[in-house]
Amino acid sequence: MTTMDPHDLTAGRAASCPYRGPEALRQPIEHALQQVVDPEVAMSIVDVGLVYGVDVDAEQVRVRLTMTSAACPVIDVIVGDVEAELDRVLPPRLGVSVELVWEPPWTAERMSPRARAFMGW
């Protein structure tokens, strides 16, 4: 199993997030994560910069996810949506695990240029 470095981030990436796993699953996973919307800002969690990384092994897809705040009232909604979207595109043999992380803390610099423009930043 590989581990993800939470500092291995590319600020402003709109179309992808840090990924480790089979290349054949990269696009379906990225597309699925793009479908998950943070209801508080009406933008994809990838564009908002909430996805810290994805690690795929033979048994499981692990998604490291943060929120803009630990007091976020929609954590359960977002986590549930991530699981549901990934379940739609992954082979049945792969489980899904979502880990909430708080380090490094989320900042607006993690947002894609599109999200910053949308927010007027």
Q: How confident is the model at residue 16 (pLDDT cuts 50, 70, 90)?
A: low
The helix (run of H) or strand (run of E) holding residue 55 is strand 51-56
pLDDT tier, 119 (very low <50, low <70, confident <90, very high otherwise): confident
Peptide bond into 104 cis (omega under 30): yes
Note the CATH number of domain 19-107: 3.30.300.130
Q: How far apart are CA 95 and CA 87, in angstroms?
A: 8
The interaxial angle of helices 75-89 and 23-34, nearest 10 deg, is 140
pLDDT tens-digit series, residues 24-79: 999 999 999 999 999 999 999 999 999 999 999 999 999 999 999 999 999 999 99
For the chain, domain boundaries: 19-107
State the pLDDT at residue 121.
80
The predicted model gives 115-119 an average pLDDT of 88
What is the per-residue DSSP string for 13-42?
-SS---EES-HHHHHHHHHHHHT-EETTTT
pLDDT, tens only, 82-97: 999 999 999 999 999 9
Per the CB < 8 A criterion, the answer to whether 6 and 104 are in contact is yes
